[in-house]
Amino acid sequence: MGAFVIRGGKPLMGSALISSSKNAILPILSACLLTEEECVIKQIPGLDDVSDMCELISNLGASVKVNGRSRKITVSARSLTGHTAGYELVSRLRASFLVTGPLLARLGMAKVALPGGCPIGSRPVDLHLKGFEAMGAIIEKGHGFVEAYCPDKKLHGTTIYLDFPSVGATENLLIAAVLAEGRTVIENAASEPEIVDLATFLTKMGAKISGAGTDTITIDGVDKVYGAEHTIMPDRIEAGTFMVAAALTGGDITLKNVVPEHLKPVTAKLRESGMEIIEGNDTIRVRGIKRPSALDIKTHPFPGFPTDMQAQLSAYTCFAEGTSVIVETIFENRFMHVNELRRMGAQIRVDGRTAIIEGMETLQGAQVRATDLRAGAALVIAGLAAKGTTEVLDIHHIDRGYEFIENKLQRLGADIQRIS
């Protein structure tokens, strides 16, 4: 499974180019199934999750050509030969459930295994299914699969209120509604930047969408959509992760290919803790000028503090002056990194969805295990700032969402090696 060996204590210096967003490309690849025509997706990140999604849509009958050198994926779903997404792939990649919407919209049927992905909470797909049912689909669950079909082969526009602004449910229903008959309105929709990127791509295909980026999205169904080209937005979580690493190691780095607007919650917390952040048009400079001050953080849907940055800030506040309190409101099982940070000497107490962190001057290098994607990133950050050598095991979790993270860190002066 591989490991990272990190010798801590070196400040990160220089500049790094942020990759395209994992959380944006996965629904966009899924949306390519809506059309018979060719779609070209540019600036693709080289991630395991992207490979898994390409394999999944290929299994459904799409032609998928990946050009790593030009960082481009060409998808042609001229004829879909299947409507079943099996357990092996779906168990690896939670986002694979996003093929349900386009399959229902185009074929009127879908059979998808119940999802896997990171083990950070139940994340049920009930919101997706309630939305599909409201659009006229019949849903049957059994033997680890969800089967959905439209009695008249077509989804019908309706008003859907999401009990929680789920990103995945918003994406799935948005994609499905593009080919539905009539108007669909998604209320209490997620407003994350990745939703806007998806809506931009769908609009290029010929979809009629308004309100993406707000809590109410309106989609007027069309009979057909067409091929399109699209460049994926930058990855705000990768950018946030590097910002935290630079601040904590006392570094001075400039991140390129970022949207500062997307990073406001992270920027605000780093500034609050005493760091210097300078925003450009598509750059952010981070200077770690002192030991961080303690922070209180509560995760929320966008534009609040992102749950995908909670683990990284947990590692950061282990080194802070004073007591920090971190409240996780999105996922009930997202403190799996805490036990690993404790192995490095961190003083953390967890009570339900709240972590109370007593800051220390430093942590000690230790052997630790990545339990999920963002927990793995948090352990890398802790290792970069800790005394001595840290070995992070099970780094396949990290490879799901960070493209060549050790290469980027090495170029910034970190002492980090990948071992098999």
Each residue's pLDDT tens digit, 271-327:
999 999 999 999 999 999 999 999 999 999 999 999 999 999 999 999 999 999 999
Cα 133 to Cα 182: distance, rounded to the nearest angstrom: 16
pLDDT band, very low/low/confident/very high, at 1 (cuts 50, 70, 90): confident
For residues 255 and 239, is the Cβ–Cβ distance under 8 A?
yes
Residue 186 has pLDDT above 70, yes or no: yes
Catalytic site includes residue 118? yes
* 82-229 has the same fold as 3-15+234-419: yes
How would residue 92 be classed by pLDDT, with cut points 50, 70 and 90?
confident
Are the C-beta atoms of 229 and 204 separated by less than 8 Å?
yes
Q: Which residues pair with 101 in a beta bridge?
A: none
The CATH code of the domain at 82-229 is 3.65.10.10
Measured between alpha carbons, how far is residue 260 from residues 24, 130, 240, 297, 402 in Å? 17, 35, 10, 20, 19
pLDDT in tens, 12-63: 999 999 999 999 999 999 999 999 999 999 999 999 899 999 999 999 999 9
Region for residue 127 given its phi and psi (left: phi exceeds 0; alpha: psi -120 to 50; beta: otherwise):
alpha
Active site residue: 32, 39, 54, 118, which one? 118
Distance of alpha carbon 175 from alpha carbon 189, whole angstroms: 13
pTM, rounded to two decimals: 0.95
- CATH among 2.102.10.10, 3.30.870.10, 3.40.50.300, 3.65.10.10 for 3-15+234-419: 3.65.10.10
Calpha distance 327→304 (Å, rounded): 12
Domain boundaries, given as residue ranges, for the chain: 3-15+234-419, 82-229
Give 124's contacts (C-beta < 8 A, 6+ positions apart). Answer: none
User: How far, in Å, are 62, 328, 329 from residue 353 at the CA level?
Assistant: 42, 5, 7
